[in-house]
């Protein structure tokens, strides 16, 4: 789901950077409004490392393979910290491994970062109603993890479908994009399961980590 | 008369041999025809080693970087080849893409070029080292802020 350099036209990449700048500014503003934002930095740092590395874990889904994203997990656990964390992770993935690209950094940040913020709000729904329970944490953890990946895949597909160059065989490229999107369906369930599992585990062993979100 | 016929026969033989010798001498010359088959072969694969089977490739000549010089599809092993127009020296750009993934390679082609091959990316050790450095930086940051928080 990392769009590399040379795939998108310049206006789209520029729009991606503009949108990313706006969301980063808003995220930092929300972070600064928190009482003690510094206490979230250790978990943000560790999950940034996890996001950075996890893209190397490939899950074979014939005829292709997909990799974990964990943007839903970051959104659920980190809240607004998730967006700058994903942005930093994507930057280093692009610079070190050419995974993604520097021109497409803004677009990729929006594809993975915006659903993370949505996942944060979905995960917060566990607090509505009666007392926060392990069952609700698990369910909303699953939904936030799954929806984040589903949203990312949808954004990825829409951006690519609307920017296929005329000199390519449009039908072939479109078919390849749909195939890749379908291959991500199992990932939606896998990421939902991972997010749910980790959220329940954290609530059991260290509930303080989930306090701020 | 018999002697006369013998003489005529000898003359004919001499003529044949005489005419034949230069032909044989010419046959020692050589004529070489040659063609330079400067085929560029590329193999496209994803970073996990999986070949980009059926990916579309686009070749751009140095004189026009906006209009494709050649387009095509990779085979099942992500392989394709083409013969560039050597009258267009410079850097040829070749893009391979499939479902929004892909890469661009720049190949210099000119009179002074030498046969070469290349691969993009890093070795496994380099990747592991870079990933380890990033993880260490993240863990270090986490430890630093944890320590400050306790103090």
Domain ranges across chain A: 10-210
pLDDT > 80? residue B36: no
From CA B104, how far away is CA B20, in angstroms rounded? 62
- Whole-number percent of chain A with pLDDT over 70: 98
Q: Is A133 on the interface with B (CB under 8 A)?
A: no
B52 domain-assigned: yes
Task: Measure in Å the smallest separation between the Cα of A196 and chain B Cα atoms.
Answer: 23
Q: Is A95 on the interface with B (CB under 8 A)?
A: no
Show the domain range for B81. 38-114
The confidence score (pLDDT) of residue B132 equals: 87
Residues B13 and B49 in one domain: no
Q: Residue B139's closest chain A neighbor by CA?
A: A46
**Strand blocks (E) in B74-132:** 79-82, 90-98, 101-109
Averaged pLDDT for residues A184-209:
91
What mean pLDDT is reported for chain A?
Answer: 90
Nearest to B74 by CA among B92, B87, B84, B59: B59
Task: Measure in Å the smallest separation between the Cα of B24 and chain A Cα atoms.
Answer: 58
Residue with tokens 């390849």: A176
Element (H, E) at A58: strand A58-61
From CA A75, how far away is CA A191, in angstroms rounded? 12
pLDDT > 80? residue A14: yes
pLDDT > 70? residue A190: yes
Is residue A71 within 8 A of residue A78, CB to CB? The reply is no
Residues B43 and B110 in one domain: yes
In angstroms, what CA-CA distances link B137 with A45, A46, A89, A109? 9, 10, 12, 21
Cross-strand bridge partners of residue A61: A64
Q: List, for residues B90-118, the tens digit of each pLDDT value.
A: 889 999 988 888 888 888 887 655 555 55
Residues B47 and B103 in one domain: yes
Residues B23 and B56 in one domain: no
The confidence score (pLDDT) of residue B21 equals: 55
Residues B66 and B14 in one domain: no
Q: How many Cα atoms are found within 13 Å in the side-chain-facing hemisphere of B82?
A: 19
B134 domain-assigned: no
The confidence score (pLDDT) of residue B1 equals: 54
Q: Look up residue B45 and give its two tokens.
A: 């694969």
Which residue has better confidence, B32 or A92? A92
The confidence score (pLDDT) of residue B123 equals: 76
pLDDT > 70? residue B19: no
Residue with tokens 């951006």: A159
Residues B55 and B74 in one domain: yes
Residues B13 and B48 in one domain: no
Residues B18 and B69 in one domain: no
pLDDT > 50? residue B151: no
B68 domain-assigned: yes
**Cα diameter, chain A:** 58
Q: CB distance B56–A173 less than 8 Å? A: yes
The confidence score (pLDDT) of residue A13 equals: 96
The confidence score (pLDDT) of residue A150 equals: 96
Residues B21 and B57 in one domain: no
Averaged pLDDT for residues A197-203:
92
Element (H, E) at A176: helix A170-183
Q: Name the residue facing B102 among A4, A46, A156 (closest C-beta).
A: A4
CATH number for the domain formed by residue range(s) A10-210: 1.10.1760.20
Residues B56 and B19 in one domain: no
From CA B106, how far away is CA B103, in angstroms rounded? 10
Structural domains counted in chain B: 2
Q: Name the residue facing B99 among A42, A52, A179 (closest C-beta).
A: A179
Task: Measure in Å the smallest separation between the Cα of B28 and chain A Cα atoms.
Answer: 54
Averaged pLDDT for residues B32-49:
79
B131 domain-assigned: no
Structure pTM?
0.80
Is residue A31 within 8 A of residue A203, CB to CB? The reply is no
Is residue B120 within 8 A of residue A99, CB to CB? The reply is no
Residues B50 and B16 in one domain: no
Q: Is A170 on the interface with B (CB under 8 A)?
A: no
B101 domain-assigned: yes
Burial B75-110 (b: 16+ CB within 10 A, else e): eeebebebebeeeebeebbbbbbbbbbbbbbebebe
Q: Is B95 on the interface with A (CB under 8 A)?
A: yes
Residues B83 and B48 in one domain: yes
B119 domain-assigned: no
pLDDT > 90? residue A48: yes
| Non-local CB neighbours of B74 within 8 Å, separated by 6+ positions | B44, B51, B52, B53, B54, B55, B56, B57, B80, B96
Q: List CB contacts (< 8 A) between B99 and chain A.
A: 160, 173, 176-177, 179-180
Task: Measure in Å the smallest separation between the Cα of A30 and chain B Cα atoms.
Answer: 20
The SS3 call for residue A104 is coil
pLDDT band at B17; cut points 50, 70, 90: low
């Amino acid at each position: 789901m990392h769009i590399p350099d040379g795939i998108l036209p310049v206006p789209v990449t520029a729009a991606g950077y503009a949108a990313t700048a706006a969301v980063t500014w808003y995220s930092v503003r929300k972070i600064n409004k928190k009482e003690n934002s510094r206490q979230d930095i250790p978990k943000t740092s560790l999950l940034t490392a996890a996001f950075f590395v996890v893209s190397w874990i490939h899950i074979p889904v014939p005829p292709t393979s997909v990799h974990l994203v964990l943007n839903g997990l970051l959104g659920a656990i980190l809240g607004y910290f998730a967006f700058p964390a994903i942005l930093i992770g994507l930057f280093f993935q692009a610079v070190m491994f050419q995974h993604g690209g520097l021109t497409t950094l803004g677009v990729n940040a929006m594809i993975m970062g915006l659903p993370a913020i949505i996942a944060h709000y979905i995960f917060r729904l566990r607090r509505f109603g009666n007392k926060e329970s392990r069952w609700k944490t698990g369910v909303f953890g699953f939904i936030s993890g799954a929806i984040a990946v589903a949203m990312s895949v949808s954004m990825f597909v829409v951006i690519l479908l609307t920017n296929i160059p005329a000199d390519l065989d449009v039908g072939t490229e479109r078919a390849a994009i749909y195939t890749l999107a379908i291959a991500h369906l199992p990932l939606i369930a896998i990421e939902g399961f991972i997010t749910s599992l980790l959220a329940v585990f954290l609530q059991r062993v260290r509930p303080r980590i989930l306090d701020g979100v | 008369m018999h002697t006369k016929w013998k003489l005529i026969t000898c003359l004919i033989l001499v003529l044949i041999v005489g005419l034949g010798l230069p032909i044989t001498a010419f046959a020692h010359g050589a004529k070489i025809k040659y063609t330079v088959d400067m085929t560029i072969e590329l193999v496209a694969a994803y970073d996990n080693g999986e070949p980009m089977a059926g990916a579309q490739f686009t070749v751009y000549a140095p004189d026009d970087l906006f209009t494709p010089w050649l387009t095509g599809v990779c085979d099942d092993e992500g392989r394709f080849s083409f013969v560039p127009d050597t009258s267009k020296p410079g850097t040829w750009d070749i893009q391979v893409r499939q479902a929004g993934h892909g890469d661009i390679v720049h190949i210099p082609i000119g009179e002074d070029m030498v046969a070469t091959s290349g691969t993009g990316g890093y070795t496994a050790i380099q990747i592991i080292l870079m990933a380890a450095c990033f993880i260490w930086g993240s863990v270090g940051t986490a430890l630093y802020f944890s320590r400050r928080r306790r103090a």
